[in-house]
Copies of this chain bind each other. A is one copy, B any other.
Amino acid sequence: MSEKISIVVLEDEKNYRDTIKLLLNFSNIFCCLQTYETIKKFYRGFDDIDPDIFWIDLNLPDGSGIDVIRHIKKYRPDALCMVCSFFDSEEMVFKALQNGADGYLLKGESNKKILEALQDLYNGGAPMSSTIAKKVIMSFQSYNAIQENFSLTIREKEILEHLSNGEQYKEIGGKLNVSIETIKKHIKNIYNKLHVNNRTEAVNKYYGLK
Number of copies: 2
Interface band, chain A: 35 or more
Give chain B nearest CB distance to A93 CB in angstroms.
9
A91-127, CB < 8 A from B: 94, 97-103, 120, 123-127
- A162, B201: Cα distance in complex, Å: 11
Does residue A133 face the partner (Cβ distance < 8 Å to B)? yes
Chain B residue numbers with a CB within 8 Å of A168 are 198
Query: Top 7 A-B pairs ranked by shortest CB distance?
Result: A125-B130, A166-B200, A166-B201, A126-B133, A97-B140, A126-B137, A126-B134
A interface with B by C-beta (< 8 Å): 70, 74, 94, 97-103, 120, 123-128, 130-131, 133-134, 136-138, 140-141, 143-144, 147, 149, 163-166, 168, 196, 198-201, 203-204, 209-210
| Selected A-B contacts with CB under 8 Å, 24 pairs | A74-B149, A98-B141, A98-B144, A102-B137, A123-B130, A124-B130, A124-B134, A125-B133, A125-B134, A126-B133, A126-B134, A126-B136, A126-B137, A127-B130, A127-B133, A136-B136, A136-B140, A165-B200, A166-B201, A166-B204, A168-B198, A199-B199, A200-B203, A209-B209
